[in-house]
Amino acid sequence: MNRCTRCILPETFPGIHFDEEGVCQYCRRTPDPEQREAQRARLRAKFEKLAGDVRSQPGYHCLVAWSGGKDSTYTLWLLKEQYGLRVLAFTFDNGFVSPQALKNMRTVAENLNVDHAIVKPSFDVLREVFVASMRPGMYPAKALERASGICNTCMAIAKGIGLRIALEKGIPILAYGWSPGQIPLASAFIRFNSRMLRAMVDTAIAPLEAVVNTRIIEYFPEQHQLADVKVLPYNISPLAFLDYDEETTLHRISALAWERPQDTDPNSTNCLLNSFANLIHVEQMGYHPYVMELASLVREGYMDRQEALKRLGIAPVPEVVAAVEAKLGVPISDK
Ligand SMILES: [Zn+2]
Protein backbone atom coordinates (compact mmCIF):
# COMPACT_ATOMS: atom_id res chain seq x y z
CA MET A 1 0.00 0.00 0.00
CA ASN A 2 1.16 3.52 -0.86
CA ARG A 3 1.77 5.70 2.19
CA CYS A 4 2.94 9.24 2.79
CA THR A 5 6.74 9.13 2.91
CA ARG A 6 6.83 11.40 5.95
CA CYS A 7 3.91 10.29 8.18
CA ILE A 8 2.09 7.00 7.56
CA LEU A 9 -1.26 8.02 6.05
CA PRO A 10 -2.26 5.50 3.37
CA GLU A 11 -3.67 6.10 -0.10
CA THR A 12 -7.00 4.72 1.18
CA PHE A 13 -7.42 7.63 3.62
CA PRO A 14 -10.33 9.91 2.58
CA GLY A 15 -9.27 12.90 0.46
CA ILE A 16 -5.54 12.16 0.73
CA HIS A 17 -3.16 13.28 -1.99
CA PHE A 18 0.59 13.06 -2.23
CA ASP A 19 2.91 15.57 -3.90
CA GLU A 20 5.83 14.66 -6.18
CA GLU A 21 7.91 13.73 -3.12
CA GLY A 22 5.16 11.44 -1.88
CA VAL A 23 4.31 13.75 1.04
CA CYS A 24 0.65 14.18 2.06
CA GLN A 25 -1.17 17.48 2.46
CA TYR A 26 -1.38 17.06 6.27
CA CYS A 27 2.41 16.95 6.51
CA ARG A 28 2.78 19.94 4.18
CA ARG A 29 0.35 21.95 6.27
CA THR A 30 1.88 21.15 9.62
CA PRO A 31 3.41 24.12 11.47
CA ASP A 32 7.16 23.96 12.13
CA PRO A 33 8.34 22.73 15.55
CA GLU A 34 9.16 26.24 16.85
CA GLN A 35 5.65 27.49 16.07
CA ARG A 36 4.10 24.48 17.74
CA GLU A 37 6.30 24.81 20.81
CA ALA A 38 5.33 28.50 21.11
CA GLN A 39 1.67 27.52 20.95
CA ARG A 40 2.19 24.84 23.60
CA ALA A 41 3.97 27.33 25.85
CA ARG A 42 1.04 29.77 25.51
CA LEU A 43 -1.40 27.02 26.52
CA ARG A 44 0.79 26.00 29.48
CA ALA A 45 0.79 29.59 30.75
CA LYS A 46 -2.98 29.87 30.31
CA PHE A 47 -3.52 26.61 32.15
CA GLU A 48 -1.25 27.62 35.04
CA LYS A 49 -3.22 30.81 35.43
CA LEU A 50 -6.54 28.94 35.34
CA ALA A 51 -5.35 26.36 37.90
CA GLY A 52 -4.21 29.20 40.16
CA ASP A 53 -7.58 30.93 39.82
CA VAL A 54 -9.67 27.86 40.71
CA ARG A 55 -7.41 26.52 43.48
CA SER A 56 -8.88 28.82 46.13
CA GLN A 57 -12.47 27.94 45.25
CA PRO A 58 -14.59 25.56 47.36
CA GLY A 59 -15.81 22.23 45.92
CA TYR A 60 -14.17 20.27 43.13
CA HIS A 61 -11.77 22.19 40.90
CA CYS A 62 -11.57 19.65 38.18
CA LEU A 63 -13.53 16.71 36.77
CA VAL A 64 -11.32 14.14 35.02
CA ALA A 65 -12.71 11.76 32.40
CA TRP A 66 -10.94 8.59 33.53
CA SER A 67 -10.99 5.53 31.30
CA GLY A 68 -8.47 3.72 33.48
CA GLY A 69 -6.01 3.69 30.55
CA LYS A 70 -2.47 4.96 30.95
CA ASP A 71 -2.94 8.50 29.62
CA SER A 72 -6.03 9.42 31.64
CA THR A 73 -4.47 7.85 34.74
CA TYR A 74 -1.39 10.01 34.24
CA THR A 75 -3.61 13.07 33.69
CA LEU A 76 -5.33 12.36 37.00
CA TRP A 77 -1.97 12.18 38.80
CA LEU A 78 -0.80 15.38 37.11
CA LEU A 79 -3.82 17.45 38.08
CA LYS A 80 -3.97 16.17 41.64
CA GLU A 81 -0.27 16.07 42.50
CA GLN A 82 1.47 18.56 40.21
CA TYR A 83 -1.25 21.18 40.09
CA GLY A 84 -2.72 20.58 43.54
CA LEU A 85 -6.32 20.58 42.29
CA ARG A 86 -9.25 18.98 44.13
CA VAL A 87 -10.24 16.37 41.61
CA LEU A 88 -13.29 14.23 40.97
CA ALA A 89 -12.67 11.36 38.56
CA PHE A 90 -15.52 9.77 36.64
CA THR A 91 -15.55 6.65 34.51
CA PHE A 92 -18.04 5.60 31.87
CA ASP A 93 -18.13 1.79 32.10
CA ASN A 94 -19.20 0.64 28.65
CA GLY A 95 -19.50 -3.00 29.73
CA PHE A 96 -16.13 -3.83 28.15
CA VAL A 97 -13.67 -2.30 30.60
CA SER A 98 -10.91 -4.84 31.19
CA PRO A 99 -11.00 -6.39 34.69
CA GLN A 100 -7.38 -5.30 35.17
CA ALA A 101 -8.34 -1.71 34.25
CA LEU A 102 -11.13 -1.78 36.88
CA LYS A 103 -8.67 -3.11 39.44
CA ASN A 104 -6.16 -0.41 38.45
CA MET A 105 -8.77 2.29 38.98
CA ARG A 106 -9.71 1.04 42.42
CA THR A 107 -6.06 0.94 43.50
CA VAL A 108 -5.01 4.23 41.91
CA ALA A 109 -8.03 6.13 43.28
CA GLU A 110 -7.10 4.94 46.77
CA ASN A 111 -3.39 5.65 46.35
CA LEU A 112 -4.07 9.12 44.95
CA ASN A 113 -6.83 9.73 47.46
CA VAL A 114 -9.34 11.06 44.92
CA ASP A 115 -13.12 10.71 44.69
CA HIS A 116 -14.21 8.41 41.87
CA ALA A 117 -17.67 7.92 40.34
CA ILE A 118 -18.39 5.09 37.92
CA VAL A 119 -21.40 5.41 35.61
CA LYS A 120 -22.47 2.11 34.10
CA PRO A 121 -25.61 2.27 31.95
CA SER A 122 -27.71 -0.88 31.70
CA PHE A 123 -26.20 -3.18 29.12
CA ASP A 124 -29.28 -3.55 26.91
CA VAL A 125 -29.06 0.17 26.03
CA LEU A 126 -25.32 -0.12 25.37
CA ARG A 127 -25.70 -3.24 23.25
CA GLU A 128 -28.28 -1.59 21.02
CA VAL A 129 -26.21 1.54 20.45
CA PHE A 130 -22.98 -0.40 19.86
CA VAL A 131 -24.58 -2.76 17.36
CA ALA A 132 -26.08 0.24 15.55
CA SER A 133 -22.66 1.95 15.56
CA MET A 134 -21.23 -0.94 13.55
CA ARG A 135 -23.51 -0.06 10.64
CA PRO A 136 -22.22 2.45 8.09
CA GLY A 137 -24.14 5.72 8.13
CA MET A 138 -24.56 6.20 11.87
CA TYR A 139 -21.85 8.90 11.81
CA PRO A 140 -20.68 11.30 9.09
CA ALA A 141 -17.54 10.21 7.21
CA LYS A 142 -15.52 13.05 8.79
CA ALA A 143 -16.19 11.70 12.31
CA LEU A 144 -14.89 8.29 11.24
CA GLU A 145 -11.50 9.60 10.10
CA ARG A 146 -10.18 9.62 13.67
CA ALA A 147 -12.22 6.91 15.41
CA SER A 148 -14.44 3.94 14.67
CA GLY A 149 -18.23 4.20 14.89
CA ILE A 150 -18.18 2.31 18.18
CA CYS A 151 -15.50 4.66 19.59
CA ASN A 152 -17.57 7.66 18.44
CA THR A 153 -20.53 6.30 20.41
CA CYS A 154 -18.43 5.68 23.52
CA MET A 155 -16.85 9.14 23.38
CA ALA A 156 -20.25 10.80 22.90
CA ILE A 157 -21.69 9.08 25.99
CA ALA A 158 -18.56 9.68 28.10
CA LYS A 159 -18.54 13.38 27.18
CA GLY A 160 -22.27 13.62 27.89
CA ILE A 161 -21.83 12.10 31.36
CA GLY A 162 -18.86 14.39 32.08
CA LEU A 163 -20.66 17.52 31.03
CA ARG A 164 -23.74 16.58 33.04
CA ILE A 165 -21.68 16.05 36.21
CA ALA A 166 -19.67 19.24 35.63
CA LEU A 167 -22.83 21.33 35.17
CA GLU A 168 -24.64 19.68 38.11
CA LYS A 169 -21.76 20.32 40.48
CA GLY A 170 -20.51 23.60 38.98
CA ILE A 171 -17.00 22.21 38.34
CA PRO A 172 -14.91 24.78 36.43
CA ILE A 173 -12.52 22.40 34.62
CA LEU A 174 -13.38 19.27 32.63
CA ALA A 175 -10.15 17.44 31.84
CA TYR A 176 -9.40 14.69 29.33
CA GLY A 177 -6.40 12.43 28.92
CA TRP A 178 -6.06 12.94 25.14
CA SER A 179 -2.41 12.67 24.23
CA PRO A 180 -0.70 14.62 21.44
CA GLY A 181 -1.96 13.12 18.18
CA GLN A 182 -5.40 12.42 19.58
CA ILE A 183 -6.39 16.07 19.73
CA PRO A 184 -5.28 19.14 17.77
CA LEU A 185 -3.56 21.77 19.92
CA ALA A 186 -6.27 24.25 18.99
CA SER A 187 -8.83 22.08 20.84
CA ALA A 188 -6.71 21.35 23.92
CA PHE A 189 -7.84 24.40 25.89
CA ILE A 190 -11.35 25.50 25.05
CA ARG A 191 -14.40 26.98 26.72
CA PHE A 192 -17.67 26.65 24.86
CA ASN A 193 -20.51 29.09 25.43
CA SER A 194 -23.87 27.67 26.42
CA ARG A 195 -25.30 27.96 22.90
CA MET A 196 -22.41 25.87 21.56
CA LEU A 197 -22.81 23.36 24.40
CA ARG A 198 -26.48 22.93 23.54
CA ALA A 199 -25.67 22.38 19.88
CA MET A 200 -22.95 19.86 20.73
CA VAL A 201 -25.20 17.89 23.06
CA ASP A 202 -27.99 17.85 20.44
CA THR A 203 -25.57 16.59 17.79
CA ALA A 204 -24.23 13.88 20.12
CA ILE A 205 -27.65 12.64 21.24
CA ALA A 206 -29.40 12.57 17.85
CA PRO A 207 -27.85 9.38 16.38
CA LEU A 208 -28.18 7.57 19.73
CA GLU A 209 -31.77 8.66 20.26
CA ALA A 210 -32.61 7.34 16.81
CA VAL A 211 -31.63 3.89 18.13
CA VAL A 212 -32.82 3.78 21.75
CA ASN A 213 -35.15 6.80 21.97
CA THR A 214 -35.20 8.55 25.33
CA ARG A 215 -33.37 5.73 27.12
CA ILE A 216 -30.11 7.56 26.42
CA ILE A 217 -30.98 11.02 27.73
CA GLU A 218 -30.11 10.20 31.36
CA TYR A 219 -26.45 10.26 30.38
CA PHE A 220 -26.51 13.77 28.94
CA PRO A 221 -27.16 17.19 30.49
CA GLU A 222 -30.82 18.05 30.80
CA GLN A 223 -32.30 20.92 28.81
CA HIS A 224 -32.80 23.09 31.90
CA GLN A 225 -29.12 22.65 32.87
CA LEU A 226 -28.06 23.77 29.42
CA ALA A 227 -30.50 26.67 29.40
CA ASP A 228 -29.17 28.08 32.67
CA VAL A 229 -25.45 27.34 33.00
CA LYS A 230 -23.99 28.67 36.27
CA VAL A 231 -20.36 27.67 35.68
CA LEU A 232 -19.19 27.19 32.10
CA PRO A 233 -16.48 24.52 32.26
CA TYR A 234 -13.16 24.77 30.44
CA ASN A 235 -12.36 21.67 28.38
CA ILE A 236 -8.72 20.87 28.92
CA SER A 237 -6.44 18.17 27.51
CA PRO A 238 -3.23 18.83 29.45
CA LEU A 239 -1.11 16.11 27.82
CA ALA A 240 -1.37 17.93 24.49
CA PHE A 241 0.54 20.97 25.78
CA LEU A 242 2.53 19.67 28.77
CA ASP A 243 5.60 17.51 28.23
CA TYR A 244 4.43 14.09 27.18
CA ASP A 245 6.29 10.88 26.67
CA GLU A 246 5.06 7.37 27.08
CA GLU A 247 7.98 6.21 29.22
CA THR A 248 7.54 8.92 31.87
CA THR A 249 3.80 8.27 31.88
CA LEU A 250 4.23 4.55 32.52
CA HIS A 251 6.93 5.16 35.13
CA ARG A 252 4.75 7.61 37.04
CA ILE A 253 1.58 5.51 37.07
CA SER A 254 3.46 2.30 37.93
CA ALA A 255 4.42 4.07 41.16
CA LEU A 256 0.65 4.26 41.85
CA ALA A 257 0.46 0.46 41.38
CA TRP A 258 -1.11 0.74 37.88
CA GLU A 259 -0.46 -2.47 35.91
CA ARG A 260 -0.73 -2.90 32.15
CA PRO A 261 -3.70 -5.16 31.34
CA GLN A 262 -2.73 -8.30 29.44
CA ASP A 263 -6.24 -8.87 28.07
CA THR A 264 -6.51 -5.78 25.81
CA ASP A 265 -4.66 -5.22 22.55
CA PRO A 266 -1.51 -3.07 22.90
CA ASN A 267 -3.25 -0.04 21.33
CA SER A 268 -5.60 0.24 24.31
CA THR A 269 -4.86 -0.09 28.00
CA ASN A 270 -8.43 -0.34 29.21
CA CYS A 271 -11.02 -1.40 26.63
CA LEU A 272 -11.84 -4.92 25.42
CA LEU A 273 -14.18 -3.59 22.73
CA ASN A 274 -11.36 -1.73 21.01
CA SER A 275 -9.90 -4.41 18.73
CA PHE A 276 -13.36 -5.51 17.58
CA ALA A 277 -14.27 -1.87 16.80
CA ASN A 278 -11.01 -1.45 14.85
CA LEU A 279 -11.61 -4.61 12.87
CA ILE A 280 -15.08 -3.50 11.74
CA HIS A 281 -13.73 -0.06 10.82
CA VAL A 282 -10.88 -1.44 8.69
CA GLU A 283 -13.31 -3.75 6.86
CA GLN A 284 -15.79 -0.96 6.10
CA MET A 285 -13.51 2.04 5.53
CA GLY A 286 -10.31 0.48 4.22
CA TYR A 287 -8.02 2.23 6.71
CA HIS A 288 -7.25 1.81 10.40
CA PRO A 289 -9.16 4.16 12.75
CA TYR A 290 -5.91 4.94 14.60
CA VAL A 291 -3.91 5.83 11.50
CA MET A 292 -4.59 9.58 11.79
CA GLU A 293 -3.52 9.62 15.44
CA LEU A 294 -0.36 7.61 14.78
CA ALA A 295 0.44 9.75 11.71
CA SER A 296 0.18 12.92 13.86
CA LEU A 297 2.55 11.40 16.44
CA VAL A 298 5.09 10.66 13.70
CA ARG A 299 4.67 14.10 12.14
CA GLU A 300 5.19 15.86 15.47
CA GLY A 301 8.18 13.76 16.45
CA TYR A 302 6.59 11.78 19.31
CA MET A 303 6.97 8.41 17.60
CA ASP A 304 9.12 7.03 14.81
CA ARG A 305 7.59 5.77 11.60
CA GLN A 306 8.61 2.15 12.18
CA GLU A 307 6.95 2.02 15.60
CA ALA A 308 3.74 3.56 14.21
CA LEU A 309 3.60 0.98 11.40
CA LYS A 310 4.21 -1.76 13.92
CA ARG A 311 1.24 -0.61 16.04
CA LEU A 312 -0.99 -0.48 12.95
CA GLY A 313 -0.05 -4.04 12.18
CA ILE A 314 -1.04 -5.45 15.58
CA ALA A 315 -3.55 -8.20 14.94
CA PRO A 316 -6.64 -8.39 17.16
CA VAL A 317 -6.67 -11.23 19.69
CA PRO A 318 -9.24 -13.72 18.31
CA GLU A 319 -10.55 -14.75 21.76
CA VAL A 320 -11.18 -11.12 22.75
CA VAL A 321 -13.02 -10.46 19.48
CA ALA A 322 -15.10 -13.63 19.89
CA ALA A 323 -16.05 -12.66 23.46
CA VAL A 324 -17.18 -9.23 22.25
CA GLU A 325 -19.26 -10.78 19.45
CA ALA A 326 -20.90 -13.13 21.93
CA LYS A 327 -21.68 -10.35 24.40
CA LEU A 328 -23.10 -8.07 21.70
CA GLY A 329 -25.02 -10.95 20.16
CA VAL A 330 -23.67 -10.36 16.65
CA PRO A 331 -22.80 -13.23 14.30
CA ILE A 332 -19.40 -14.72 15.12
CA SER A 333 -16.92 -13.80 12.40
CA ASP A 334 -14.35 -16.24 11.06
CA LYS A 335 -11.33 -14.05 11.90
ZN1 LIG B 1 1.96 12.72 5.69
Cα angle 87-174-308, degrees, rounded to a multiple of 5: 105
The Cα–Cα gap between 281 and 316 comes to 13
pLDDT number for residue 32: 86
333 CA distance to ligand 1 middle (Å) = 33
The Cα–Cα gap between 308 and 291 comes to 8
pLDDT number for residue 266: 66
The Cα–Cα gap between 322 and 92 comes to 23
pLDDT number for residue 95: 96
pLDDT number for residue 200: 95
- Cα 210 off chain centre by: 23
- 118 φ/ψ sector (left φ>0, alpha ψ -120 to 50, else beta): beta
194 CA distance to ligand 1 middle (Å) = 36
Q: Which of 88, 159, 91, 153 is nearest to 120 (CA)?
A: 91
pLDDT number for residue 334: 54
**Tens-digit pLDDT profile for residues 103-140:** 999 999 999 999 999 999 999 999 999 999 998 889 99
The Cα–Cα gap between 225 and 190 comes to 20
Question: pLDDT under 70 in the chain at which residues?
Answer: 264-267, 332-335
247 CA distance to ligand 1 middle (Å) = 25
pLDDT number for residue 31: 84
7 CA distance to ligand 1 middle (Å) = 4
43 CA distance to ligand 1 middle (Å) = 25
